[in-house]
Every structure is written in C-alpha cells, then in structure tokens.
Structure 1
Amino acid sequence: MKNAIQIIKDRASWRTFKDMDIEPEKINALRSAIEGDKTGPFGAKVRMVLVDIEAVDAEKAMKLGTYGTIEGAKVFITAAAEKKDKSLADVGYIFEEVILLCSSLGLGTCWMGVTYDKAGFSAAMNLKENEDLIAVTPVGYAVEKRRLKDKAMRVFVKSDTRHHWNMMFFEDDFTKSLNKEAAGRFEQPLECVRIGPSASNQQPWRIIKADNAFHFYLEYTPKYKFQFGQTIDIGIAMKHFELACNELGINGKWQFARPAIECGEKKYYSTYVTE
C-alpha cells in the first residue's frame, strides 16, 4: 500500500454519512480487494462481503440495523472468519487493510464489533456454519461536521487520546520503557501502532524491542466486557507495524515462537523479525 504511514495518520472513525453514492470505480476497487478468502498470519481464513443496502431485498435491508450508531450509510463491508484459535486477530490484520484502502479512496469507515444487528448482517453475507461474523464497517462519504451524538461517543471513548510511549513500548523486557531515540528507524512504525484504532480506545497492545525483533503482547483490560475485541486490536497493530516497515524499506517477517520474557498476565501473540 502506497503512502500507508500518512493514511494511517489521517484515518478516523466516522458514524454519519452524506446521502451520496460511491462511484462505481471505487466500489469495484473495494470488491476486488475483498474478493476471495484471505488467510491471516495465524492461519484462519477471513471472508469479506460488500453489502449494498439498496441492492438487497427489502426484508433483509430492514434487518441491517446499527442501533442508531450509524446514520446515512448505504454500503457496509462485513468480515467473517472460520472458527479457529486467534481468528479474531486474523480479522484485525486483514480487515484493517481494507479500512485503510477505504481511507485512501476518500471514504469514511468505522470499526464495529458489537453495535450492529448480527443476525441481519449474517444473513446478508450468507454466513457459513463454520464461520463467525466478527466485524462490520459502514463505508461512504463522511459529513464535514460530526453530529452531536457522534461527538459524545468520541468523548466517551476518548477517541482523540492515546497512551504515551512508555505505557506501550519496551526494550528487552517489560522493566524498561523504549524511548523514540532508542527506537531509531522504527519510530514511525511504532507510532503507527500507537495511533491505531482499538475497541473503546483501550489500546491494549504492548511491544518489546529486542535487537532486531519486536514481540507483540496483548494486555487485556480488567473487567472490560468486550475483551474479544481486544484480540482484534492486536491484529490491527500488527498490520500497522508491517505496512509502515514496508513503506520505509524495512524487510521483516512474522514468527510465533514465544520468547523467554516474563510477561505476567500479558499474552504473547507474535514477533516481527527484521533484517
């Protein structure tokens, strides 16, 4: 993806859309991007479907509700994954690239993990028995001015606030925070992780830099009722880091051998080994 770093910086969540059709060429670009099953880094197959409300039958369209959280959207993209361990992280990794593609086309989106009619969207995408519907996003031209309800929601989840580096990034183990100077050429990839979207903006990812390797951990938020969404978040973080590294010409690959690092209640997920 060209200009991934800037696209990641510019991306924002939008819940209110103009009464304006998406051009056919952009719809075709999205259909091409989501065509066929995609396999994530953890091995689960992810299937995505573009749902045009005006193209589905009236009975199905009436069931495609978002409980008032989304207004004006005519197009949605759904993401389902086969029922496997860590499939939610695979959805985060794969679906986020589609979200960023939408942003690059000038289209607004919003990750939705719970605030939609799951039965209605499952029917619209003909969900298979071996699949779970994991996420949905509206797609369209966002309004220039956010509605009051949208502003209130952003304030509630602190959408414009991010944790500081010393809470997210570490050097060698979890006892020493990683500063930007020590991060060197990886400052931008790590910053792209820091500003990424997450469930209720909890930002649960934690990364340890150990020489040329970056170990990704998930620190679940205690008593948070949507912890499953935080597993999606680790996939988003992985995608942001990888895209930023690619743009900067930093070659690397994902590995999954847990390092011998004391991590307490944090859960290890993956390691990006760079050249």
Structure 2
Amino acid sequence: MNLQKQIYIRKSCRDYLDETIDMDLIHNFMESVNPLIDEINYHYEILTRDEVNVRNRWSAPYYLAVYSEKKENYLMNVGFIFQQLCLYLQSRGIGTCWVGLDVPKNKTSEFVIPISFGRSDDITRELSKFKRKELSEISDFEDEKLIPAQLAPSAINSQPWYFKHVNDGFDVYQVKQNILKRQIIEKLNMIDMGIALAHMYLSNMDTFEFKIKTSFDDLKGYTYIGSIKI
C-alpha cells in the first residue's frame, strides 16, 4: 500500500455524498497502523451525523471520534496515527476533514477530536492549488525532502512546523502563536505537528525514526517537539 502519492493530491473534504461505507475498511487498516509513540493508548468510534453536535455550516454522513490517554505528546500522536487513516480512506474514494468544532453528543473525558468522512466526488486537487509556505519559510534552508510536511493540512492553514537540519536528520519545532491564535488553535497545532510527521513517515517508511532529545538549540519563536531521521 503506497499512501505517499495521496499527500500530493489530498484536500480537506466538506462536500459529501449520502452513501453507505463498509466500515471494515477502517477497522482493518487501523489494525496495522503505526503510532508515533507506542506508550499512549488510543481508540476511536464511528458515529453518524445524528450522534454528533455539528457546529459547522456543513456536515458529513459519518464522523470518526478520536480518543486518547492524556499523556505527554498525545495530541501529536493522534495527528500522526489518524492522518495515515485519512490518506488511506482518500485512496479508497472517501473524503475526510479534521474538524475542530464538532463534538460527539456522548463524548467522554478522553475525547480529542472528530474527523468527518464520507464518499465524495471532491477529494483531490492539483499540486498548484495548495496554499502553503515556501520551503525556505519552514526550514533553516530550502530542502525538497520536506515537501511532504509542507503539504500537510493544519488548523486555519497555520502551518506551525519548522525543521532545522542536524547531522542525522531534522530537529522539529512548532511555531509559538500570538496570544489570540494560541487561545484558538494551540491544541489543534499539536495535532497538526503529528500530521506533518505522518507525511514525513509515509514518504520515508524504511528509514523514518522519531525521538525526543534532551539537547537541542533553542530557537526564538519556536518550541522544540522532537527530532526525526529520514
């Protein structure tokens, strides 16, 4: 299964067909998905539109409610795991969108975020249609190896990732948002970081490694979140 090519065509889907889906597609894929951090337990449930408090002007026939232990870096782990699922579903003609506002009607304390999904005729776009920062803006110098991360989706397209080259890969940082944005998207940006790392993993599956170092450079305006080798 090659999900790398889906990175270059995916778009967040908000226009769905009212068609049924074989949910075994999701269950079977999730049995073999790779987490970023093994020690964090997580689970999900599949909901219909009627089981969700929809706060957007659009809705989907189905929602994946994501739950996790609230351990360190759990949000990044959620983004890493479930972006792999999003790309897989897209490869099967199913659109997805990370949704920050909607919540299950019967959510528990471990609820993190929902992902809307459903059949759609509007799940891809041309590479030229992506509105993203330049590679030179997300790294200490322009590097085409970072294109998969560059194309990752993020809350209000904030693109909070920054990569610093080191001898064996990259130290990864998150942009410190201003006070106003921090109140709105701080939690979502940690999920976004996991999504970007999932893109890097899927593009370098044989060599990708993630670790959190105790020694790293402090960069003004950024928070260190981990290091990758690709």
TM-score bracket, shorter-length normalisation: 0.7 to 0.9
Which secondary structure state, in structure 1, belongs to the residue aligned with residue 89 of structure 2? helix
Provide the alpha-carbon RMSD of the alignment.
2.4
- Deviation of residue 108 (structure 1)? 0.5
Aligned counterparts of 2:106 and 2:31: Cα–Cα separation in 1? 18
Higher strand share: 2
Give the partner amino acid of 2:226.
Answer: S
Say if 2:129 is the partner of 1:136: no
Residue 105 (structure 2) aligned to one of 109, 120, 139 = 120
Aligned counterparts of 2:34 and 2:66: Cα–Cα separation in 1? 10
CA contact (8 A) 2:173 2:226 kept: yes
Paired residues, number: 222
Higher helix share: 1
Say if 2:137 is the partner of 1:167: yes
Give the partner amino acid of 1:240.
Answer: H
- Mark the CA change 1:42 to 1:167 in structure 2 (over 3 Å): closer, same or farther: farther
- Deviation of residue 52 (structure 1)? 3.8
> Percent identity of the aligned residues?
21
Unmatched tracts of structure 2, length 5 or more: 124-128
Which secondary structure state, in structure 1, belongs to the residue aligned with residue 14 of structure 2? coil
Match in the other structure for 1:197 = 153
Match in the other structure for 2:2 = 3
Say if 2:189 is the partner of 1:230: yes
Match in the other structure for 1:12 = 11
- Is the radius of gyration larger for structure 1 or structure 2? 1
Encode CA deviations 1:24-72: one digit per residue, 9 max, x unaligned.
3xx212122335998542732221112245xxxxxxx3x513224333x
Unmatched tracts of structure 1, length 5 or more: 54-60, 146-158, 171-177, 181-186
Aligned counterparts of 1:16 and 1:191: Cα–Cα separation in 2? 27
Write the mapping of 1:49-128 to structure 2, written as runs, cut at 5 A. Answer: 49-53=45-49, 61=50, 63-71=51-59, 73-113=60-100, 115-116=101-102, 118-120=103-105, 122=107, 127=108
- Deviation of residue 168 (structure 1)? 0.2
- Mark the CA change 1:69 to 1:218 in structure 2 (over 3 Å): closer, same or farther: same
Aligned counterparts of 2:27 and 2:163: Cα–Cα separation in 1? 34
Write the mapping of 1:17-32 to structure 2, written as runs, cut at 5 A. Answer: 17-22=16-21, 24=22, 27-32=23-28
Deviates more, 1:40-49 or 1:192-201: 40-49
Aligned counterparts of 1:199 and 1:70: Cα–Cα separation in 2? 17
Deviates more, 1:254-263 or 1:89-98: 254-263
Aligned counterparts of 1:42 and 1:244: Cα–Cα separation in 2? 20
Write the mapping of 1:232-271 to structure 2, written as runs, cut at 5 A. Answer: 232-246=191-205, 249=206, 251-271=207-227
Match in the other structure for 2:126 = none
TM norm structure 1: 0.73
